[in-house]
């Protein structure tokens, strides 16, 4: 199959593009900088119609991962990439006769800040979603699903907290904070949280490419996770332990932490051009103090998929990766 993957310079996008190519698909990747994957590349941004038009030409399926991902920043920047970029991808898919579009979304599009306990893929809600990333991803998901038609099958996949070896975003930030002694736990840190090991997320997206057809699975959103909710404190400690970093032990009360996060966001908003994230945000406190785990029955039925790597094996793989990275050179 001829498949375009947008956002292939990211961890999940790159791993998925590589897996599709390894199984024999003809893969094209679209991102702003070279991916190093050795695949056909179109360099540019999804906000540029000409670039997207060149990339989708002749493709049978598009796996759309390109997004602005962060917790702070001007909402206009998120909107330009996440909403306008998705609109451009959808329009060019229609014009080029692409048969299937898998829009990679996030469970945060349906998270209003309260706990999610055994939840399904509730409808994306831009009004209640927390923060500019979640709001714009919610709009993008609704926009993509609205394009589902007899000529273009659309499926939204929401991987939840993807992590694994080589992850410089989630894992890298957790480890860096742990090594500096700046990885606090909020409240008792016992809220159950689902996560997804990298190769399981890749397998789920690959299955989505195959199952998303006008005669198969389309027109809906599916949350993807390992289906192994763990207390958030245990998850953070397992990541730190795998990297040989100090385990988090300091507990902060949730409400004062939310106030501190709001203050930090306000302060950072007054620092134009500063690319660094604030040390604390309300979104971060909410994510680390509320439960969010999901019913995986519909996802597994629809995709014919089950996670092959359990969390404990994933932590062991992460520990081996860190050991290899920091092994002294001879």
The structure tokens 């060149």 sit at 54
Give domain status of residue 328, yes or no: no
Residues 112-158: tens digit of each pLDDT: 767 777 888 888 888 888 888 889 999 999 999 999 999 999 999 99
Name the nearest CA neighbour of 160 among 100, 111, 207, 114. Answer: 111
Name the nearest CA neighbour of 264 among 48, 1, 71. Answer: 71
Q: pLDDT at position 69, please? A: 83
Give domain status of residue 276, yes or no: no
Give domain status of residue 273, yes or no: no
Q: pLDDT at position 104, please? A: 97
Q: Which residues pair with 222 in a beta bridge?
A: 157
Give domain status of residue 241, yes or no: no
Count of domains forming the chain = 1
Cβ 212 vs Cβ 153: under 8 Å? yes
Give domain status of residue 303, yes or no: yes
State the Cα–Cα distance between residues 131 and 286, nearest whole angstrom. 11
Residues classed as catalytic: 133
Q: How many residues belong to the chain?
A: 330
Give domain status of residue 13, yes or no: yes
Give domain status of residue 173, yes or no: no
**CA-based R_g, the chain, Å:** 19
Q: pLDDT at position 291, please? A: 87
Give domain status of residue 168, yes or no: no
Q: With a threshold of 0.85, does the pTM exceed it? A: yes
How remote is the C-alpha of 185 from its chain's centroid?
Answer: 23
- What is each CA distance from 298 to 9, 118, 149, in whole angstroms? 30, 12, 21
Q: What is the CATH number of the domain that holds 91?
A: 3.40.50.720
- What is each CA distance from 227 to 26, 34, 185, in whole angstroms? 31, 34, 23
Side-by-side strand order, sheet with 100-104: 40-43, 26-31, 2-6, 61-64, 100-104, 153-159, 221-224
Sign, CA dihedral 116-189-199-175, equals: positive
Residue 8's domain comprises 2-163+195-227+294-309
Cβ 178 vs Cβ 172: under 8 Å? no
Per-residue pLDDT of the chain (330 residues; tens, 9 = 90+): 999 999 998 899 999 999 999 999 999 999 988 888 889 999 999 999 999 999 999 999 999 999 988 766 778 898 999 999 999 999 999 999 999 999 999 998 887 767 777 888 888 888 888 888 889 999 999 999 999 999 999 999 999 999 999 998 889 989 999 999 888 888 888 999 999 999 999 999 999 999 999 999 999 999 999 999 999 999 999 999 999 999 998 888 888 878 887 787 777 777 655 556 777 777 778 777 888 889 999 999 999 999 999 999 999 999 999 998 875 554
Cβ 46 vs Cβ 6: under 8 Å? yes
Residues 57-81: tens digit of each pLDDT: 999 999 999 998 876 677 889 899 9
Q: pLDDT at position 275, please? A: 55
State the Cα–Cα distance between residues 54 and 102, nearest whole angstrom. 19
Token reading at 149: 């038609």
């Amino acid at each position: 199959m001829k498949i375009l993957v947008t956002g292939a310079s990211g961890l999940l996008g790159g791993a998925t593009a590589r897996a599709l190519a390894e199984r024999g698909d003809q893969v094209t990747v679209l991102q702003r900088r070279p991916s190093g994957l050795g695949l056909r590349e179109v360099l540019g941004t999804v906000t540029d119609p000409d670039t997207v038009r060149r990339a989708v030409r002749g493709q049978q399926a598009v796996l759309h991962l390109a997004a602005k991902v962060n917790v702070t920043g001007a909402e206009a920047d998120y909107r330009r990439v996440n909403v306008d970029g998705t609109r451009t991808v959808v329009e060019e898919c229609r014009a080029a006769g692409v048969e299937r579009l898998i829009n990679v979304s996030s469970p945060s599009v349906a998270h209003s800040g309260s706990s999610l306990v055994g939840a399904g893929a509730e409808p994306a809600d831009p009004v209640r979603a927390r923060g500019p990333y979640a709001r714009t991803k919610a709009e993008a998901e609704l926009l993509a699903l609205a394009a589902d038609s007899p000529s273009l099958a659309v499926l939204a996949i929401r991987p939840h907290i993807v992590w694994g070896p080589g992850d410089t975003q989630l894992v890298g930030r957790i480890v860096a904070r742990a090594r500096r002694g700046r990885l606090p736990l909020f409240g008792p840190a016992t809220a159950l949280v689902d996560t997804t090991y990298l190769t399981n997320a890749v397998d789920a997206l690959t299955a989505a490419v195959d199952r998303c057809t006008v005669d198969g699975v389309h027109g809906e959103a599916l949350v993807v996770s390992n289906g192994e909710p763990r207390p958030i404190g245990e998850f953070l400690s397992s990541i730190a332990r795998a990297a040989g970093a100090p385990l988090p032990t300091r507990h902060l009360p949730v409400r004062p932490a939310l106030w501190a996060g709001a203050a930090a966001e306000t302060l950072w908003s007054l620092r134009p051009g500063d690319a660094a994230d604030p040390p604390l945000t309300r979104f971060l406190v909410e994510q680390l103090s509320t439960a969010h785990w999901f019913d995986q029955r519909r996802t597994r039925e629809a995709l014919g998929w089950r996670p092959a790597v359990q969390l404990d094996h994933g932590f062991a793989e992460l520990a081996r990766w860190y050991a290899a990275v920091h092994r002294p050179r001879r």
